[in-house]
């Protein structure tokens, strides 16, 4: 089988996904291509999708700003995509387009690859900063993984409250302001930054000020440009172990590739290779 895989979105010329998926094809010895299908702004989304259908792809990724807009064109959604209301991966299977969302599981896999023991103790306390699409996916995955405490801090509390509704019945998620989270930061074992604050070119900004952290706390930022965000630098200064954002990108892609091909790609040193690209080495 010759896999025809694509990425749709706009703009996508600088996407790292073709690099990642071509590495996956190489590593699994599967034949195929992963190419960009940039949405044309001169045509309607409807027309764009019609063109894509004609290309008879086996699967594709969907990126901003179309993760919600794609949904009416799909025949089925998996449970996570339903709960997210957003799709980033589509597979063509038995004549149907089926939508998935691999962000949450991708994040969990990335964390587990770096800090495997974290998952052995579900009483670990987690703080999620932000309440956008990424936060939603990560919250859902952490909740379903069974962690006891997942609190959410966001500038706009109502958005965080919306996410907290995804919780399984037993959970008691606290929604706090950013200031309250800063004051209580010593309570958490894992602090995850999911907003775009600190992303290039605004590298000197951080959504959060750190003070005394809990012993062995981990700070995680899903921003990967730059890799060393101000958030991570400050957390590290305060004694945190850190977790870089580019690994989520890799592992959500690993899960997408698995959906298309049924092959789980061994990651080995791919995170270091991607790190080198991001650091321009
Ligand atoms: P995505 O879907 O990629 O996660 P998003 O939906 O735009 O992105 O989410 C943006 C998140 O970043 C939100 O939590 C947003 O906070 P609000 O809900 O209060 O808007 C947060 N965010 C973005 N810019 C921010 C800023 N300058 N200060 C604080 N929070 C910010």
47-52 — which CB contacts under 8 Å span 24+ positions? 48/8, 49/73, 52/6, 52/8
pLDDT tens string 87-145: 999 999 999 999 999 999 999 999 999 999 999 999 999 999 999 999 999 999 999 99
Q: Are 155 and 168 in contact (CB under 8 A)?
A: no
Name the residue with the closest Cα to ligand 1, atom 6.
132
Residue 17, marked binder: yes
pLDDT tens string 224-268: 999 999 999 999 999 999 999 999 999 999 999 999 999 999 999
- Tell me, what DSSP letter sits at residue 137? H
Name the residue with the closest Cα to ligand 1, atom 5.
132
Q: How confident is the model at residue 212 (pLDDT cuts 50, 70, 90)?
A: confident
Name the residue with the closest Cα to ligand 1, atom 22.
195
pLDDT tens string 62-78: 999 999 999 999 999 99
Instruction: Determine the Cα–Cα distance for residues 239 and 199; give it in Å rounded to an integer.
Output: 22
pLDDT at 169 over 80: no
pLDDT of 211 reads 87
Q: Are 245 and 215 in contact (CB under 8 A)?
A: no
pLDDT of 172 reads 83
pLDDT tens string 29-54: 999 999 999 999 999 999 999 999 99
Residue 209, marked binder: no
The pTM of the full predicted model, rounded to 2 decimals, is: 0.96
Gap from CA of 24 to ligand 1 centroid (Å): 32
Gap from CA of 170 to ligand 1 centroid (Å): 27
Gap from CA of 274 to ligand 1 centroid (Å): 26
6, 67, 230, 233: the active-site residue? 67
Any residues with CB less than 8 A from the CB of 126 and at least 6 apart, and which? 142, 147, 149, 150, 151, 188, 189, 190, 191, 192
* 124 is a catalytic site residue: no
């Amino acid at each position: 089988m010759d896999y025809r895989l694509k990425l749709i979105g706009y703009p996508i010329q600088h996407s790292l996904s073709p690099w990642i998926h071509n590495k996956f094809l190489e590593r699994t010895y599967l034949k195929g291509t992963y190419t960009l299908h940039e949405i044309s702004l001169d045509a309607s989304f409807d027309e764009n999708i019609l063109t894509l259908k004609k290309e008879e792809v086996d699967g594709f990724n969907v990126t901003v700003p179309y993760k919600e807009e794609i949904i009416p064109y799909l025949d089925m959604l998996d449970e996570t995509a339903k709960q997210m209301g957003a799709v980033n991966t589509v597979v063509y299977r038995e004549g149907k387009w089926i939508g998935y969302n691999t962000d949450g599981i991708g994040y969990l896999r990335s964390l587990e690859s770096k800090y495997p023991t974290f998952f052995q103790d579900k009483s670990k306390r987690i703080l999620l900063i932000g309440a956008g699409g990424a936060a939603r996916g990560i919250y859902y995955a952490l909740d379903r993984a069974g962690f006891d405490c997942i609190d959410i801090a966001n500038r706009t509390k109502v958005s965080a409250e919306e996410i907290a509704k995804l919780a399984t019945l037993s959970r008691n998620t606290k929604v706090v302001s950013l200031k309250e989270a800063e004051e209580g930061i010593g309570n958490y074992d894992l602090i995850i930054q999911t907003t775009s604050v600190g992303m290039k070119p605004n590298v000197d900004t951080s959504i959060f000020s750190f003070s005394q952290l809990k012993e062995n706390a981990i700070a995680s930022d899903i921003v990967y440009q730059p890799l060393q965000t101000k958030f991570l630098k400050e957390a590290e200064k305060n004694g945190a172990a850190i977790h870089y954002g580019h690994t989520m990108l890799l592992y959500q892609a690993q899960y997408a590739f698995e959906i298309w091909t049924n092959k789980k790609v061994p990651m080995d040193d791919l995170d270091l290779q991607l790190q080198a690209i991001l650091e321009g080495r």
